[in-house]
């Protein structure tokens, strides 16, 4: 009996927290190595630029920033010492707190050190081969001379994107409703909707743009033969992205609980009125984030309309780049797309967070 009691006491005795020292040593080594890599990358940048005193000061500041991961690494050693003192005094709870704090500091140091290493790698890449990357992609004089023309052409991309998005909202909803029509009467329309979605999701956007842009003109199709290339680009992108958005609509409509349908129909609403007044409004609120993601993709695909002969931003940048034998004008287009896409991406993240919060509360 005594042996059993002693064994039970040993089993139930709280275990002390593990030491932080090994993790702290690893964190310190990682921080030092990454800081050295950053220093070498900045030195390579300094040699390539031969900058004035003001830029030299900026490079020194960046080098000091690269040393910041050393701070939490050193703090991890202090947490390990305090953990040992608390443990020696029999204070188990403070010892565990210090051990957790030390591990957190060590992991923070490694995380920031790896970020410094990635940034150093990017700097090294841009300065490799005596700065050939920078000279090829980032020449200030070419950026300044091409910016105005590329920006003017970029408004064509914006016009095509907005026009296609408005049409996609309507066409996508019509196709989704066709695919969800019930009964034998709706079967042919369901088949047509499925065929449309499967076909245009399979065809690359650039092929659709090429076929619509040149095929309708060559075939002398009434109405379409007189449209401008911009309108043909809007139609081509509408055909492609309506197939994607139709599936987004369908997923949103099918996510509505069947009780909503039953309640609406029990009140005497027809199938169409139920969709219009009850189901679709609820579905649209749920599909806004994925819908905006599709619109971001559509917005980027407007860079393909040059295949139809439209002088958009990308086509203009290629013309300028061929004249100066430098790709800086193409970088201008990339920056413009980034500037209009990032706010939308952050807005989508915000909507997703709000939807998750609302769903969690409900």
Q: What percentage of the chain exceeds 90 in pLDDT?
A: 44
Give dist(CA 105, CA 114) in Å, integer: 14
How is the chain split into domains, by residue range? 10-137, 142-359
Taking the model in full, what pTM does it have?
A: 0.77
For the chain, give the percent of residues with pLDDT over 70: 93
Q: What is the pLDDT of residues 246-274, one digit of tens each?
A: 999 999 988 888 888 888 888 888 888 88
Task: Using the predicted structure, report yes or no on whether residue 6 has a pLDDT greater than 60.
Answer: no
What CATH number is given for 142-359 in this structure? 1.10.3720.10
**pLDDT at residue 132, rounded to an integer:** 79
Q: Which residues of 218-250 are buried (b: 16+ CB within 10 A; e: fewer)?
A: eeeeeeeeebebbebbbbbbbbbbbbbbbbbbb
For residue range 281-309, what is the model confidence (pLDDT) as tens digits? Answer: 888 888 888 888 899 999 999 999 999 88
How many degrees, rounded to 5, is the angle at CA 348 between CA 346 and CA 351? 115
Tokens for 139, please give them.
């020449």
Residue 314 has pLDDT above 50, yes or no: yes
């Amino acid at each position: 009996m005594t042996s059993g009691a002693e064994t039970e006491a040993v089993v139930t005795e709280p275990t002390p927290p593990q030491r932080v020292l090994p993790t702290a040593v690893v964190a310190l080594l990682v921080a030092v190595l990454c800081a050295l890599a950053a220093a070498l990358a900045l030195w390579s940048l300094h040699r390539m630029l031969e900058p004035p005193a003001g830029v030299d000061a900026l490079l020194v500041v960046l080098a000091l920033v690269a040393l910041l991961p050393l701070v939490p690494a050193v703090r991890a050693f202090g947490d390990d010492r305090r953990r040992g003192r608390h443990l020696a005094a029999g204070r188990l709870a403070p010892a565990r707190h210090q051990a957790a704090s030390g591990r957190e500091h060590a992991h923070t140091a490694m995380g920031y050190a790896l970020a410094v290493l990635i940034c150093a790698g990017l700097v090294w890449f841009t300065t490799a081969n005596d700065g050939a990357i920078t000279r090829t992609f980032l020449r200030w004089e070419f950026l300044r001379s091409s910016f105005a023309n590329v920006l003017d052409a970029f408004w064509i991309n914006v016009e095509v994107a907005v026009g296609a998005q408005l049409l996609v909202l309507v066409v996508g909803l019509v196709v989704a409703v066709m695919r969800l029509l019930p009964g034998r009467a709706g079967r042919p329309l369901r088949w047509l909707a499925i065929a449309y979605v499967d076909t245009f999701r399979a065809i690359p956007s650039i092929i659709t743009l090429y076929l619509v842009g040149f095929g309708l003109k060559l075939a002398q199709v009434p109405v379409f033969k007189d449209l401008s290339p911009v309108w043909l680009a809007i139609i081509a992108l509408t055909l492609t992205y309506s197939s994607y958005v139709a599936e987004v609509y369908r997923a949103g409509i099918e996510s509505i609980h069947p009780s909503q349908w039953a309640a609406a129909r029990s009140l005497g609403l027809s199938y169409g009125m139920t969709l219009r007044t009850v189901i679709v409004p609820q579905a649209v609120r749920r599909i806004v984030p994925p819908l905006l993601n599709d619109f971001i993709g559509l917005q980027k695909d407007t860079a393909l309309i040059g295949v139809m002969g439209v002088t958009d931003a990308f086509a203009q940048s290629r013309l300028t780049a061929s004249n100066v034998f430098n790709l800086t004008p193409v970088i201008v287009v990339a920056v413009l797309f980034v500037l209009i896409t990032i706010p939308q991406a952050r807005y989508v993240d915000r909507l997703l967070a709000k939807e998750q919060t609302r769903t969690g509360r409900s």
